[in-house]
Chain A
Amino acid sequence: MSDPSAASPPALRRAVGTVTATATSAGLAFAAINFLGIVSVATYAAGASAWLAILVGLGIALVVAAVFSELNGLFPTAAGVRLYVGRAFGNRFALTATFTYMTTVVLVIAADAFLIGAAIQHVLHERSSLAYLWILALLAVATAANLRGITLAGRVQSVVTYTVLASTVLLSVIALTRPGLRMETPFALFGDGVMSGFQAIAFALFLFAAFEWVTTTAEEARQPSVITRALFVAPVLIWLAATGFALGLAHLVPKGLADSSAYPQLLLGQAALGRLGEVWMLAVTVLTAVNTFNGGFLVASRFLYAAAREGNLPRDFARLNLRAVPWLAVVTLAVASAVVAGVVFASGQWLLLVAVGAALEAAMFAIGSAALLRLRRHDARPRPFRMSAAPVLAGGGVVLFTGLALASGFSDPNDPSTFSPVPALVVATLAVLSYCYVRFVLPRMHRAAAARAVAARAAGTRTRRRPPRAATTAEPTSDEPAS
């Protein structure tokens, strides 16, 4: 036995370093839906100013990186979001926020399944009705892999992520070398109106969505600074790929064609390199799914498991198969994703997913910024990373992110000249359902669990196993005679 304070904490045998953490962060954010996100940015940004919106998005993402770096330093755990929102605003709000936030995972998995299915169907020149079969097949493969406990090693994940990002940049450079490059009004971000430019920025911020999920790997990082570095480097990599793709798309693919397509990356590949480029981008699209399905299923299913173990979801969600995988959580996620993907497939409203995801993510950034401000007042512990000018940046962030959430929540994904409350309604419905569950269902579940425990103790089927501690005699003090 030894005094732990006397020595530095022991190093883990398999700790995550900066390169892997950065890949995890960028890989979680750069999904197939990002290509549609870039199209949405281009739709709302006037002329060829999408790059400018994405640059502004990068600036905002770096503020988010600072917010989550400080929060992660305070609570370096996979349960981070739940923990710091809970400490700042109470358990009920934290549960409502995290349940709503987790629906983003379902949306992203569903979106990726849909987009990849549509891309495969397009490249193979199949009937469009077959796309949903591809979607189901992809989800089935992802579910089976998760149920078997197959997870990507950090090194494989890094290779996949850097391949996707490098391929996107390379194709974009090739596209930009094609003759006839012209940039019409590259600085006219607000040329179609202030609101339109603001919405372009909201969608640009969505391109970085989920990069902060790397904080869930904080427990396996070599040091807290590894996560901080990843949070600051990953947005820059995403920015490079997104900017290149936006410029290439503007150069080679007519705006109307990209707006109406579920696979703009294939169109750019085709325009830049013909059939080779199309197949290349299909391979890149499929690779994005490796990260989405691996990271998304893992994060969300383990969240459901932990919530069930804590008594905040039915206990069945904690049931484990013989590979220690919470199988009901995984299957539920897969079914929910298949249903959402089916609705998107039937309605053709894939851009709605982008708007809903953008609104949800901006709202979460607002909550994170508010939590940081509150914890600055109530938690005086030293932080490994302390955000500079937090009252201004995080305070301004609360206002800005709320504004961006509203801007994307009231955007019409199919017509930038009009407004639609549908994305906001979807987000509000998810939040209200989460709140009602936390406010009305959970207390009943907790009361029932407490009653079961009392009954089990009374019946003698659940008794304390730890032996009672032997009574100790207190040492008499010097002015207290022993009797």
Chain B
Amino acid sequence: MATWDEIAEALDDYTVTCNGNERLRKMQRDWTRQLHFVCSDTGDTFSMDVRSGEIVATPPGHVGVPDIVVTADSETFCDMFWGDLNPMPKYLRGEIQVRGSQEDVMRLDAISYVIWPDA
């Protein structure tokens, strides 16, 4: 199990990597969403505020009304935010559960794919 501090560290790196990727910012320029995350093993929750493709905040707890809710175990979140894990196989096996539109689910995966194409 990953601690909240580990997740927060991974989130910080993810935010910097995403916001620094020009191609991703261009691709997601019309994507403004509120994301909620739930760690199924620890019960930790956190949010991600994305505005015009830029991650502007990743506060702990659930903030605002979500467009997407992602549930997975804490280790999966950590590995995913560090770019060590391709989330799609886990999603297709039901180990990552997402609530949201199909388009948003794909956009979420596309972020990982664009910044870490070899993961």
Contact = CB atoms under 8 A, between A and B. Distances in A.
A83 to B, nearest CB: 5
Interface stretch (A2-10, A188-196, A241-249): A2-10
Contacts of A320: 27, 110, 113-114
A323 B118 contact: no
Contacts of B43: 1-5
Given A75-B94, A464-B84, A216 B100 contact: no
A83 B97 CA distance: 12
Contacts of A389: none
Given A14-B67, A83-B92, A324-B110, 17 more contacts: A1-B4, A4-B38, A12-B66, A12-B68, A13-B34, A82-B92, A219-B98, A219-B100, A219-B102, A219-B105, A220-B102, A310-B88, A310-B92, A318-B113, A320-B113, A466-B10, A466-B78
Interface stretch (A260-268, A301-309, A342-350): A301-309
A219 B106 contact: no
The residue in B26, B65, B71, B106 that gathers the most chain A C-beta atoms within 10 A of its C-beta is B106
Interface of B: 4, 6, 9-10, 13, 23, 26-28, 31, 34, 36, 38-40, 43-46, 60-62, 65-69, 71, 78-79, 82-84, 86, 88-89, 91-94, 97-103, 105-107, 109-110, 113-114, 118
B66 A469 contact: no
8 contacts: A4-B71, A11-B65, A13-B34, A217-B101, A219-B99, A318-B113, A324-B28, A465-B13
Contacts of A219: 98-102, 105
Contacts of B78: 466
Interface string A204-246: 0000000000001101100000000000000000000000000
A79 interface: yes
Nearest to B119: A462
A216 B106 CA distance: 13
A14 B65 CA distance: 10
What does DSSP make chain A's interface, helix, strand, loop or mixed? loop
A10 B34 CA distance: 12
Given A151-B103, A320-B110, A466-B10, A83 B36 contact: no
Contacts of A9: 69, 99
A34 B2 CA distance: 53
A451 interface: no
A322 B93 contact: no
A10 B93 CA distance: 23
Interface string A289-325: 0000000001000100110011100000010101110
A77 interface: yes
Contact of B67 (A12, A75, A302): A12
A10 B13 CA distance: 27
Contact of B107 (A13, A83, A324): A324
Contact of B36 (A10, A79, A456, A462): A10
Given A4-B43, A309-B109, A310-B88, A14 B101 contact: yes
Interface of A: 1-5, 9-14, 75, 77-79, 82-83, 86, 151, 216-217, 219-220, 298, 302, 305-306, 309-311, 318, 320, 322-324, 456, 462, 464-467, 469
A221 to B, nearest CB: 9
Contacts of A456: 118
A322 B26 contact: yes
B66 to A, nearest CB: 5
A323 B106 CA distance: 12
A411 B98 CA distance: 43
Given A4-B43, A78-B102, A309-B113, A10 B66 contact: yes
B46 A1 contact: yes
Contacts of B40: 4
A318 B118 CA distance: 12
A466 B106 contact: no
A1 B10 contact: no
Nearest to A6: B43
A324 B84 contact: no
A77 to B, nearest CB: 7
B94 A83 contact: yes
A298 B92 contact: no
B27 A78 contact: no
Given A79-B92, A309-B109, A302 B102 contact: yes
